[in-house]
Structure 1
């Protein structure tokens, strides 16, 4: 078993190689099936974390880019093409699990789990932002990988579209929060709704801006089984 985040010797892509440069360089090094992994919803204070893995296997997707730089309509079109033609898998981590296990631990574990559900085993893994230890194939973390690596950008699109659809469905259950608009991120409108209505079961109680709304006369209530993440929900990065 090969583990770690070792860069293959002599197969580093050129700076001007474009979004497919990493995959071309790895293919020259004998790594034909490169999986990109990314997540959506890490900074939200409500809703799930969604992790996706994509193997393009030589597929070129015109207009592919970091999902946060695309319009919703363009993301949907790319999602349709990627899921029809590439090898892909997606994993949804509920907010309750994020509270119980912790955000970062859930993120890393989710990346390992989603890779195991691919129908084709990758020969190399590229992750966005941080490394994932314990993989059975070599891997490399790429800073801002969703803007630099095609398979990571594809994973970001699959994760983002999947999560946006989930948040639209949750809007039908909890319309008072406006989930269909802000997707669970800490916008002023969301914080105003949270102040008025308090949190719902889809909120992340390990985030301080949610926990601040769960109080009795003595202060903030700690929920059973919740880790003390002290996270603060962030703005949507789209």
Structure 2
């Protein structure tokens, strides 16, 4: 699994999941270099990745949900939605980075054991999107789907140029916010929009 849109100012945070097993063939060429691909090349890779995967899905959490529950819980929600959309249950989930944002800490009991696990076991891996083809593939699927969502909303809110910046803090987006202010698809709990600091002692409310 991999996430995209975590640091954006607008739009959802999205999580892709790609399932492979011992019968899976070699991944499509170029998937591990997905961050170097052009947007058009990423779009062209999507059908190849879907044919390669045993199963795949993308889950989203909206800007309103991010404002309501915080980015970390929203990441988990998007990941849970992606897993729920799969026709199979993975035996193991590999996450990019060194933080398990998928496992609900409220379900962790004594000795770090899960009392009632809602998700499969999770293993984190630094730079997994460069080392693990399935994680890289999940990143591509999530990015292409999320980018498409922002492009679709560009016509309704052309002043922010989401077709170009995909909701991130690019200079044109920041300039438009200074001129027009935020709309309902912006994450209004972000420091860009409010002066208050994150709630002390609650890392899940920390804004990135």
TM-score (norm 2): 0.81
Larger Rg: 1
Seen in structure 2, the aligned counterparts of structure 1 residues 136 and 198 have a Cα distance that, compared at 3 Å, is closer
Deviation at 1:83?
2.2
For 1:206 and 1:114, the matched residues in 2 are separated by 24
CA distance in 2, matches of 1:174, 1:211: 21
Partner of 1:42 in structure 2? 6
Alignment partner for residue 207 of structure 2, among 231, 234, 237? 231
Alpha-carbon offset, residue 138 of structure 1: 2.5
Contact 1:171/1:178 (8 A) holds in 2: yes
Q: Secondary structure at the match of 1:62?
A: coil
State the match for 2:72 in structure 1: 104
Match of 1:122 among 72, 90, 115: 90
- The residue number in structure 1 matching 2:137 is 154
Correspondence list, 1:128-167, <5 A: 128-129=96-97, 130-131=99-100, 132-133=102-103, 134-167=117-150
Instruction: Report the alpha carbon displacement of residue 64 of structure 1 after superposing the two structures with TM.
Output: 0.8
Q: Which runs of 5+ in 2 are unaligned?
A: 104-116, 197-203
| Higher mean C-alpha displacement, 89-98 vs 64-73 | 64-73
Q: Give me the TM-score of the superposition, normalised by structure 1.
A: 0.71
CA distance in 1, matches of 2:59, 2:179: 32
Q: Is contact 1:66-1:156 (8 Å) kept?
A: no
Q: Residue 43 of structure 1 aligns to a residue in which SS?
A: coil
Query: Which residue of structure 2 aligns with residue 51 of structure 1?
Result: 15
Structure 1 unpaired stretches of 5+: 1-36, 213-219, 221-227, 233-238
Number of aligned residues: 182
Match among 65, 69, 80 for residue 36 of structure 2: 69
Query: Per-residue CA shift, 1:142-194, capped at 9, x if unaligned?
Result: 11211111110000000000011001011011001100101111111111000
1:212-231 matched pairs, under 5 angstroms: 229=205, 231=207
Q: Distance in 1 between matches of 2:33 and 2:78?
A: 20
| 1:204 is the counterpart of 2:171 | no
Alpha-carbon distance in structure 1 between the residues aligned to 2:152 and 2:85? 25
